[in-house]
Amino acid sequence: MLKDIYEKIDSYSAGMIDLQTRLTAIPALGPENDGVGEKEKADFLEKWMADEIGFDSVDHYDAPDDRVPAGIRPNIVAVMKGASSERKVWVMGHIDVVPPGDLEKWNTNPWEVVEKDGKLYGRGTEDDQHGIVTPLFALKAIKELGGTLPYDVGVVLVSAEETGSEHGIGYLLEKSDLFGEKDYIIVPDAGEPDGSMIEVAEKSIYWLKVETAGKQCHASTPAAGVNAHYVGAHLITRLHALHEIFPTVDEVFDPPISTFQATKKEANVPNINTIPGDDVFYLDMRILPGIDLGDVDAEIRKICDGVEKEFGVKITLSSAQKEEAAPATPADAPVVKALAAAIKDVYKIEAKPMGIGGGTVAAFFRRAGLPAVVWSKIEDTCHQPNEYTTVENMVGDTKVFANLFMQKG
């Protein structure tokens, strides 16, 4: 049966391109990005699914939002029944996209798909229309060939993923009890170009604003002031000790350690001949699961207290973002094994469970005690000018989902 399904999927290239083209032409931007929301795109998708596939049930969990003309942010749950409802296989994609940014950096109109050398250029083609098109065409092939799904399969299409997910998967999990611990949950929203990474864990993300208050003075009389810029630079070198204070290694991640990096630097004085009395920089910290962020705070404060005493400055700390890592999906979870088997069958590679330093919406599921994974074979052009996906990757990933949907284990 799988051979026939794969051959059917091979015949869908033109249909996939057409769906990508139609979706890209509907800019689904959230109100935070000066958009009108996802309603038009969601309506189009719902009609397309009814016309081209036909699900057994389609339910809405629309989040109220008076910032958009429709008054709601749509969240659609479409289910195709299988032989058993003992567990379900869920694939979640997001309808919204990010703005195109500087149009001068695009070689094409971001809202019109251009096909060139097997690549489909356009905003949203990879993030996350690739993750919508692939499971839909997998189900289309299975249904057209009269296949019987061993288990129920659900496609979840959510809003607001690019702006925090409060009106998307966050709302859906709050308002429903759709998902079970035995279910397979896949989020095709990140991955590697060769498809070898199954993301199962994320580090805590902690952005810290560090403000140093010294005393401004003329550069010719440095003893009359306290150079906050110098002290801030000194503090950055002291904070590097955090790598030694928190030396835990977890090989699931790359890099396998917690990272503490000074990144953004705010402007201080506008002229060269003034010693700055204030200094502001930021730390980007990606911290392994299991390390308490409160312990990190305590160690940073201890280092800052020492610098304050040594230089006679005041150091103020404030969080720009602080998100504790969700519990990891076990590397040997059934969904990981099933997905790895499907990837091996299609792509002939051994996909491995891995952790990442960034955040994904899979964390919402994991915090709810649901073992979700993130996987896709993508070129990693998300959020960039000239974003694209490839026809080859769409066809291949569609086969992976078809394989997963048809597994009886």
Query: DSSP string covering 209-270, please?
Result: EEEEE-B-EETT-GGGSB-HHHHHHHHHHHHTTHHHHS--B-TTBSS-B-EEEEEEE----S
Whether omega before 62 lies within 30 degrees of 0, making that bond cis, reads: no
Give the distance, in angstroms, between the CA of residue 196 and the centroid of all CA atoms in the same chain. 17
Give the distance, in angstroms, between the CA of residue 72 and the centroid of all CA atoms in the same chain. 23
Closest CA to 67 of 35, 43, 40, 42: 35
Maximum pairwise Cα distance, the chain: 85
Closest CA to 151 of 91, 206, 104, 198: 91
Catalytic residue set:
96, 161
Alpha-carbon gap, residue 128 to 144, rounded angstroms: 25
Alpha-carbon gap, residue 25 to 7, rounded angstroms: 29
Residue entry with tokens 């915090």: 367
For 124, 160, 186, 248, the CA distances from 169, given in Å and listed in that order, are 19, 8, 13, 32
Name residue 179's amino acid. Answer: F
Give the distance, in angstroms, between the CA of residue 277 and the centroid of all CA atoms in the same chain. 39
Kindly report the CA angle at 260 between 259 and 266, in degrees rounded to 5? 140
Under DSSP, is residue 308 helix (H, G, I), strand (E, B) or coil?
helix
